[in-house]
Chain A
Amino acid sequence: MSKSFDATTKTFRDYTAEEQADYDARMKIYNDNIVPKKLEAVKKLRLEKLIETDYLANSDVTMPDNVKTWRQTLRDLPANHTNEAAYDALLARDSDGNLTNSVWSKP
């Protein structure tokens, strides 16, 4: 049973049945969206990494082959990672907040 705190009366109480049903319905939506949101986060990171090396696609510079390969790997991430565990592995970070999956490291 979920709980509510009334800051005016400084009292806790359990949710009513109606509140609990409303909460449960929203939690179902939340849980249904967890995996899509993780994929969204992967795509956001991928876009950031691609943008960092977009300048190498300019006509006056030559993009190294290993960067080309890395960029293609990034583009293929959603196709090659299709479940929550795979997304978690891509989004993993160390205690300092740095991404730990090597796929994000530019060669």
Chain B
Amino acid sequence: MSSEIKADKWSPASGTSATIGDSGDTYTVPSGVTLNTSSATLTLPSTVITGQTAKTSLVDADKFLISDSAASGALKYVEKQYLPSGDYVRLGSIDQDLGTSQKIQFTQVFSSDYDQYKVIGTANVGSNQQAEVYFRWLNSSNAEQYASSYGYSGYGRYSNTDDSGGTIGFQKMSESDVKLLDDFHGGSYGRNIYFDLTLYPRINPSNFRPGLQGQICYNAYNSGNGGWYSQSIGAFYAEDTDLSGGGLQIECNTSWDYVRMNVYGVKNT
């Protein structure tokens, strides 16, 4: 070290500003030294943030710097796990052409974190024929639940292409699945099924008896090209089946084409 400056205070020789060093210089504040700027106006370069390595997947222990309004703006951190989040948590998704698959399974999505689940999405099927779509529950081993204990009913309205139309109603008991719809017109990306289902894998802490309800809309086959169905449906499974850790299955009798579907858990706390 060529020399050492010892002074109790630095001040500009003239005016109100001064510069330390030149471009390329590095000044190091050694370990154990306190650089107290708590009462100063501190201007940081934007590279404090933009110069850092990006992280693309947050974990609960990741921290954010905050100014605590309840403590005179004191700097504190909060962990990601304490950030507020929505009550809907996406648990599974599909956004792809499923080729020649008949079954869509969302396996092992049910947990104690949620009491209800939402299934929303669109789908079409590849074959230009009347298509049927069925629903079944899956247990934690991904085994389909197909006892003849499904009951369901629905009601809706259809429109023909000439604006005529009518009502539809259906009901079944003691079935091995829920037939969500039975007259979809496949074979074109322009024809779709819209799903909006709410699932109740366990109706309360002491009873299972899973059920579902929802709304389904789709282009109809027997009501003609471009005909349209809108229907509600409600279903139950009269079995005390523990579906903890389980999931759901939606099966088509022909084959799925492009499916864009999400399953959300609805937080219970």
A interface, CB within 8 angstroms of B? 2-9, 12, 15, 19, 22-23, 26-27, 30, 34, 37-38, 40-41, 44, 48, 52, 91, 93, 95-99
Interface status of B166 (Cβ within 8 A of chain A): yes
Residue of A nearest to B103 (CB): A4
**Do A93 and B166 have beta carbons less than 8 Å apart?**
no
Residue of A nearest to B106 (CB): A7
> Cα distance A83–B132 when bound, in Å?
22
**Do B102 and A2 have beta carbons less than 8 Å apart?**
yes
B interface, CB within 8 angstroms of A? 92-94, 98-109, 130, 132, 134, 142, 144, 146, 160-162, 164, 166, 177, 183, 222-227, 247, 251, 253, 255-256, 261, 263
Contacting residues, chain A, for B177 (C-beta < 8 A): 26
> Cα distance A66–B155 when bound, in Å?
37
Contacting residues, chain A, for B100 (C-beta < 8 A): 3
Residue of B nearest to A94 (CB): B225
Given contacts A4-B102, A5-B105, A97-B225, 4 further A-B contacts (CB under 8 A): A6-B142, A44-B223, A91-B224, A99-B224
**Do A27 and B253 have beta carbons less than 8 Å apart?**
yes
Contacting residues, chain A, for B251 (C-beta < 8 A): 23
**Do A34 and B226 have beta carbons less than 8 Å apart?**
no
User: Do A7 and B92 contact each other (CB < 8 Å), given the known contacts A30-B253, A97-B161?
Assistant: yes
**Do B106 and A8 have beta carbons less than 8 Å apart?**
yes
Contacting residues, chain A, for B106 (C-beta < 8 A): 7-8
User: Do A6 and B161 contact each other (CB < 8 Å), given the known contacts A26-B253, A44-B166, A96-B226?
Assistant: no
Shortest 8 CB-CB contacts between residues of A and residues of B: A97-B161, A97-B226, A4-B103, A41-B222, A97-B225, A3-B101, A5-B101, A8-B107
Shortest beta-carbon distance from B253 to chain A in Å:
5
Most buried by A among B107, B183, B222, B247: B222
Contacting residues, chain B, for A15 (C-beta < 8 A): 102-103
> Cα distance A15–B256 when bound, in Å?
15
User: Do A30 and B103 contact each other (CB < 8 Å), given the known contacts A7-B94, A38-B222, A97-B161?
Assistant: no
Residue of B nearest to A95 (CB): B225
> Cα distance A4–B252 when bound, in Å?
10
**Do B130 and A3 have beta carbons less than 8 Å apart?**
no
> Cα distance A26–B136 when bound, in Å?
14
Contacting residues, chain A, for B104 (C-beta < 8 A): 4-5, 7
Q: A22 contacts which of B105, B130, B146, B164 (Cβ < 8 Å)? A: B146
Contacting residues, chain B, for A19 (C-beta < 8 A): 103, 144
